[in-house]
Chains A and B, each alone.
Chain A
Amino acid sequence: MGSRLPIIVAGLLVAIFCSSALGAAAELPVRRARRVAIWPEQHLDSPCAQLFSPGARGAAPHRFVRRSLQLALQQTFDVKVRTVLELRRNVTDSSNYKDQVVLGRERYHMGHEYYRDLRQQEAAESLTRSIEMLNSIFYDAVEPQAFSEILFLLGITLVEEGRIADAHQAFKRALFLSPHTTFSPGFHPPPVEQALSVACEDVQKSLEKEVPLGTQERTFAFMRKMKVDVLFYPLIVKEGDASVLRLLAWDGKAKNVVLRESIALANEEEAGEAIDRAVSRWAACTHYENVPRRVEERHQWVFSANYQHLLFLQQPLRNPLFMMGFSFDGAHFFRRSFAIVVKAQFLSSLPDRFEDLVDGFTSARVTVGPAFGVSGDWWRLFVAPSLEFHYLGSFSVTRDPNCKHFLEDSPGADLCAPGAVKEFPVDFLAGINVYIGTQFFLSDEMFLGAGASISTYFAPFDRTFEMNFPVALEAGGGVAF
């Protein structure tokens, strides 16, 4: 036996080393997928000179841009792509969308009536309120054409009010949302036509067009609401005579544009490849967060010590018999939510209310069995059915107060009737134990825990024992690695 001991110890060390190595391999971080959405392609490549030439501003749709972009993103690892349709559905499914649309449209019609009654001030107020309401639900992302109509009317009203600067802003936003709109020459008074022309030139030249929802704040608010990390924004502009795709990626975490690529659209195939390359560059540089590992993924060994109180539901005393002590357990996780647990418990009896228990006794329990758990980032809940072996120390019980009060070998002890004291010799019990416990991790390695267990004994098979169904509550802490 002596010569085998070093071999056994070496075997155990190798087993622990191998399981640790396997554990380390399993600890590779998992990247959280980036949630990406594609904004509908924005065309700002129609010449402003044709603003008053009805039907002349319809540009080539360049549908392949969105298709290529979607394909490239879908082929990228750890990226979840949300389509334009999904985005729109998300906006329209929000709880107050329909109510706000009704209210906003009502304000618009009211503004329209005021305008026709030549009450420009009231019209401007009503239209501004309509825009505020519709802005709050991102109506411009779903119905850009309808939204631009309100803005055009507001711009015209403001020009007639003499508020040219405000009208300029309204026209710019309207022409951004509805870039192919044209007007019949002479339909609007010259100041309105002039303001529209200036706004058209401005929206095509300024950098504001690179912000899909008018302002950065609204753009990021929209991304937050849609639960989108990165918003890809394909903007088609004119450079010289050629249409060029300016591909932008707005990053909600960086609060900035993290990709700005200009891609010529003359050749669809080449443009598609360029989009693919741009997406690859973005994917290579974008910051992925690691998914926090669950408790069971962080460790394989768990050791804990607990303070324990135990109550026997079946026992020979008139009052509850409590015991107190400590438990020590070790567990090895073979899988994420499966472990083998060995637990040792050492307990001492506490005096009962009637002191029927003449002498205190000690007890030791060992349980062995599997544990099944579920866990989150900082907690674990588990159940452990196990086999229990219980060493129950000897004790004696009496209900006669004279046997409790008078000392042995004293004259008073004669009052203690023979047989009034029942002796319980040392006993070995075996049965089944079920433990339900929880652990709260203070750090990766340390935790506080609490749990409850109940046992039932079936051995010795002659059922001579009078103690059964111990219920235990315990609390303590431990380490995991």
Chain B
Amino acid sequence: MRLRNLLMGALLLCTTAACTDATDVSGVWEMPESSSMLQIEQLAPPFTGRIKVAVDQFGWDVSGVVLFYRDDIYYDLASCHYVMDGEVRSDSFLFSLEFEDGQRLLGHLEYSESGGDELLKGNLVDPDGEKPPLQVVLKRVGGDAKVHREEWDLGCQ
């Protein structure tokens, strides 16, 4: 009986370990069309525009880029930044961005689903805490195939 319980326990552990996967954020995320332009006062000079996130997830590790656009149609690229220390814990996507002048922003986005859309909602935070957090909503617009197809896996060029 003890052996059977042990085997059942091992089987359950294996099953949960193999099948229970954390949230997969691999893919391309953009701000929804309905949302207004983002104004990032935390940056100097302040940035107004939209952001796009193109990342790949490996287990809980995340790598990729965050692209800043000055327009609504994701054409006029202002800057490109690498996702640093990206990781997914449960439903949270955590990362940091580093800017040329040494400024940093921390991202803490929660994965959710709404009306058939996959969303990442959360804040961009100034690590020094001098500026209030900035709310961000991103909608998935493509999986990791799009990341590779659009060559965002080359990095910031």
With a CB–CB cut-off of 8 A, which chain A residues contact B156?
A: 411-412
With a CB–CB cut-off of 8 A, which chain B residues contact A399?
A: 61
CA distance A407 to B57 in the complex (A): 15
Interface residue total, chain B, C-beta cutoff 8 A: 18
- A61-92 interface mask toward B, CB cutoff 8 Å, 1 = contact, 0 = none? 00000000000000000000000000000000
- B46-65 interface mask toward A, CB cutoff 8 Å, 1 = contact, 0 = none? 00000000011111111111
Contact assessment for A411 and B59 in the assembled complex, using a CB-CB cutoff below 8 Å = no
With a CB–CB cut-off of 8 A, which chain B residues contact A407?
A: 153-154
Contact for A401 among B63, B65, B154, B155, CB less than 8 A: B63
Q: Find the B residue at minimum CB distance from A355.
A: B58
Contact assessment for B153 and A401 in the assembled complex, using a CB-CB cutoff below 8 Å = no
Interface residue total, chain A, C-beta cutoff 8 A: 20
CA distance A319 to B82 in the complex (A): 26
CA distance A402 to B56 in the complex (A): 9
Q: Find the B residue at minimum CB distance from A319.
A: B59
Contact assessment for B59 and A406 in the assembled complex, using a CB-CB cutoff below 8 Å = no
Given the interface pairs A410-B153, A410-B154, the reply to whether A415 lies near B58 with Cβ below 8 Å is no
User: In the complex, what's the smallest C-beta–C-beta distance from A180 to chain B, in angstroms?
Assistant: 64
Given the interface pairs A401-B86, A415-B82, the reply to whether A406 lies near B153 with Cβ below 8 Å is yes
Contact assessment for A354 and B63 in the assembled complex, using a CB-CB cutoff below 8 Å = no
Best-buried of A401, A412, A415 by chain B (most CB within 10 Å):
A401
* A254 touches B (CB below 8 Å): no
Contact assessment for A401 and B157 in the assembled complex, using a CB-CB cutoff below 8 Å = no
With a CB–CB cut-off of 8 A, which chain A residues contact B82?
A: 402, 412, 415
Give A336-356 interface residues, CB cut-off 8 Å to B: 353-356
Given the interface pairs A401-B58, A401-B86, A404-B58, the reply to whether A413 lies near B63 with Cβ below 8 Å is no
User: In the complex, what's the smallest C-beta–C-beta distance from B93 to chain A, in angstroms?
Assistant: 13
CA distance A406 to B59 in the complex (A): 16
Contact assessment for B58 and A412 in the assembled complex, using a CB-CB cutoff below 8 Å = no
* A318 touches B (CB below 8 Å): yes
Give A402-453 interface residues, CB cut-off 8 Å to B: 402, 404-407, 410-415
User: In the complex, what's the smallest C-beta–C-beta distance from A407 to chain B, in angstroms?
Assistant: 6
Contact assessment for B58 and A410 in the assembled complex, using a CB-CB cutoff below 8 Å = no
With a CB–CB cut-off of 8 A, which chain A residues contact B63?
A: 401-402, 404-406, 415
- B73-94 interface mask toward A, CB cutoff 8 Å, 1 = contact, 0 = none? 0000000001000100000000
With a CB–CB cut-off of 8 A, which chain A residues contact B57?
A: 401
CA distance A364 to B58 in the complex (A): 28
Contact for B155 among A355, A400, A415, CB less than 8 A: A415
CA distance A93 to B33 in the complex (A): 92
CA distance A401 to B86 in the complex (A): 9
Contact assessment for A412 and B155 in the assembled complex, using a CB-CB cutoff below 8 Å = yes
User: In the complex, what's the smallest C-beta–C-beta distance from A402 to chain B, in angstroms?
Assistant: 5
Contact assessment for B61 and A406 in the assembled complex, using a CB-CB cutoff below 8 Å = no
Contact assessment for A354 and B153 in the assembled complex, using a CB-CB cutoff below 8 Å = no
With a CB–CB cut-off of 8 A, which chain B residues contact A355?
A: 58-59
Given the interface pairs A411-B156, A413-B155, the reply to whether A405 lies near B59 with Cβ below 8 Å is no
Contact for B59 among A353, A410, A412, CB less than 8 A: A353
CA distance A434 to B125 in the complex (A): 57
Q: Find the B residue at minimum CB distance from A399.
A: B61
With a CB–CB cut-off of 8 A, which chain B residues contact A356?
A: 58-59
Best-buried of A399, A404, A412, A415 by chain B (most CB within 10 Å):
A412
Q: Find the B residue at minimum CB distance from A410.
A: B154
With a CB–CB cut-off of 8 A, which chain B residues contact A354?
A: 58-61
CA distance A353 to B55 in the complex (A): 17
CA distance A354 to B22 in the complex (A): 12
- B133-157 interface mask toward A, CB cutoff 8 Å, 1 = contact, 0 = none? 0000000000000000000011111
Contact assessment for B154 and A405 in the assembled complex, using a CB-CB cutoff below 8 Å = no
Q: Find the B residue at minimum CB distance from A416.
A: B63
CA distance A356 to B61 in the complex (A): 11
Given the interface pairs A412-B153, A412-B154, A413-B155, the reply to whether A404 lies near B65 with Cβ below 8 Å is no
Q: Find the A residue at minimum CB distance from B26.
A: A405
CA distance A404 to B55 in the complex (A): 12
Best-buried of A319, A354, A405 by chain B (most CB within 10 Å):
A405
Contact assessment for B61 and A412 in the assembled complex, using a CB-CB cutoff below 8 Å = no
What are 12 contact pairs spanning A and B, CB under 8 A?
A: A318-B59, A354-B61, A356-B58, A400-B61, A401-B63, A404-B63, A405-B58, A405-B153, A407-B154, A410-B155, A411-B157, A413-B155
6 A-B pairs closest in CB distance: A412-B155, A354-B59, A401-B63, A401-B61, A410-B154, A405-B63
What residues of chain B have their CB less than 8 Å away from a CB belonging to chain A? 55-65, 82, 86, 153-157
Q: 12 extra interchain contacts, Cβ-Cβ under 8 A, other than A355-B59, A401-B62, A406-B63? A: A318-B59, A319-B59, A354-B59, A354-B60, A401-B57, A401-B63, A404-B63, A405-B58, A405-B64, A411-B155, A412-B65, A412-B156
